[in-house]
């Protein structure tokens, strides 16, 4: 059957309307109260940041002992409240734990989002997944992490760098999910050298490496043509690994090149990971996650049940030292406005103390942090009640927090990604914190 031009136009219109209807129906199925087209009436928020450094505090940082301090408690008498005294900051009315002595004067560049919330309370793995993918586990779908989403949408800022580097142990929650290997990460657990897979074995000279690459090229040219996606992805991975194994990118991992005074300013191993993240930004990496939970100095990390809370101040001081140095360093190199620093964790902690003086888990109100990235910082956003147990104003769901990150780096937080033919809202219908962009 043949169609005239007007018939084709009508068919194209029907197909477009069908696509819009499917997108709206998907949103409705997810419990969206307003129709999807209502969002289009609001201007899309787009920031100007180019990079993200995401700091992950594994175990569950207690907001009441860090970024949302309240009245002083007493674990001996089981009086609910903060474990530490609080101090004033550069932003009037915003207080932090006394152990943030270096960060307090820099809070004009920081916003502690105090009303982040989700429904996961007791399960670390599920909460880790929620705080990396922005949504609950659902059926057989493997959702991409925020790092993979931004890498997929923006790519690397320099063709000689990968888009996404994880300084920590690999984990499916950090991965690309249905976006596929191209949106995956390189990882390293050692700040003194690059990813092991990109390091040439001893004895492989540049000449020998060149001969190997020529031989590989001959094999690929004589291979049977295929459109099998797994083989094509494998070839793409080989091509990228060869490109990134050269000295230009791997020099980013030579942290020892930095002045000793600067390295000392960052502090210990965690601080050196943060310093490495700055060097990766300079090389053009788009998204870097820095894990704080590789070798905890207090043995328990941020999961401060029972006696684990006794040395929590050591972690806070380590975080204070490294993050304040990172902000100061990025600012000195004119990179702070272009680099969004994000601090996240599984959940928070209740004000009450357990029988041995520690704290349990709390997902209904906790703090995540944003710094730099060209945002209009407030020192703090959102208000919780007198014991930081529930949001009082400006609650921020995880999709909203993710939408804020996406908006800051110019990613369309309203668009759909596609798992096969199934549309998946990129931030689960999150809306950015608009006041940070004014």
Q: Long-range contact list for 131-135, CB < 8 A, 24+ apart?
A: 131/344, 131/345, 131/346, 131/398, 132/173, 132/174, 133/173, 133/177, 134/398, 134/399, 134/401, 134/402, 134/427, 134/428, 134/430, 135/398, 135/399, 135/428
DSSP state of 327: H
Q: Does domain 47-198+254-437 have CATH number 3.40.640.10?
A: no
Which pLDDT score is estimated for 293? 73
- Residues 81 and 387: beta-carbon distance below 8 Å: yes
Delimit the domains of the chain by residue range. 47-198+254-437, 200-244
Identify the segments of the chain with pLDDT beneath 70: 1-41, 196-210, 212-247, 294-298
- Full-model pTM: 0.84
Average pLDDT along the chain: 86
Which pLDDT score is estimated for 193? 72
Which residues does 329 contact at the CB level (< 8 Å), separation at least 6? 262, 265, 266, 275, 278
3-class SS shares of the chain: helix, strand, coil, % to 5: 40, 15, 45
- Residues 408 and 153: beta-carbon distance below 8 Å: no
Residue 303, CA atoms < 13 Å, CB-side half-sphere: 14
Which pLDDT score is estimated for 7? 44
At 396 the three-state DSSP class reads strand
DSSP state of 368: E
Cα separation, 276 vs 288, whole angstroms:
10
């Amino acid at each position: 059957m043949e169609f005239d031009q007007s018939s084709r136009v009508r068919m194209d219109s029907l197909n477009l309307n069908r696509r819009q209807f499917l997108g709206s129906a998907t949103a409705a199925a997810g419990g969206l109260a307003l129709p999807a087209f209502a969002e289009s009436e609001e201007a899309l928020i787009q920031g100007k940041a180019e990079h993200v450094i995401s700091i992950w505090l594994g175990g569950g940082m207690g907001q009441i002992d860090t970024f949302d301090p309240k009245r002083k408690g007493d674990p001996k008498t089981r009086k609910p409240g903060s474990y530490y005294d609080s101090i004033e900051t550069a932003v009037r009315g915003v207080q932090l734990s006394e152990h943030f002595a270096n960060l307090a004067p820099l809070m004009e560049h920081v916003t502690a989002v105090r009303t982040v919330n989700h429904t996961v309370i007791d399960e670390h793995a599920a909460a880790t997944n929620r705080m990396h993918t922005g949504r609950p586990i659902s059926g057989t779908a493997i959702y991409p992490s925020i790092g993979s989403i931004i890498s997929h949408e923006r790519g690397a800022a320099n063709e000689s760098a990968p888009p996404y580097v994880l300084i920590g142990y690999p984990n499916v929650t950090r991965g690309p999910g249905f976006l596929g290997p191209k949106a995956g990460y390189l990882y390293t657990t050692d700040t003194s050298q690059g990813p092991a897979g990109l390091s040439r074995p001893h004895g492989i000279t540049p000449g020998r490496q060149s001969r190997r690459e020529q031989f590989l090229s001959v094999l690929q040219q004589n291979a049977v043509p295929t459109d099998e996606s797994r083989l094509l992805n494998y070839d793409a991975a080989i091509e990228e690994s060869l490109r990134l194994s050269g000295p230009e990118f791997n020099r980013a991992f030579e942290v020892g090149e930095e002045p000793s005074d600067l390295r000392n300013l960052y502090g210990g191993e965690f601080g050196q990971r943060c310093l490495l993240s700055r060097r990766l930004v300079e090389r053009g990496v788009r998204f870097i996650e820095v894990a704080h939970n590789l070798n905890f100095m207090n043995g328990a990390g941020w999961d401060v049940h029972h006696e684990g809370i006794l040395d929590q101040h050591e972690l806070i001081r380590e975080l204070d030292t490294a993050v304040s140095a990172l902000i100061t360093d990025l600012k000195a190199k004119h990179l702070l406005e272009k680099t969004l620093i994000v601090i996240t964790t599984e959940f928070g902690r209740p004000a009450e103390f357990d029988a041995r003086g520690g704290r349990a888990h709390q997902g209904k109100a906790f703090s995540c942090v944003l710094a730099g990235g060209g945002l209009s910082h407030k020192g703090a956003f959102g208000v919780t009640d007198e014991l930081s147990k529930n949001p009082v104003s400006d609650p921020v769901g995880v999709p909203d927090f993710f939408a804020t990150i996406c908006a800051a780096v110019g990613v369309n937080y309203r668009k759909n990604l596609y798992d096969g033919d199934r549309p998946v809202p990129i931030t689960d219908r999150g809306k950015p914190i608009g006041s940070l962009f004014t």
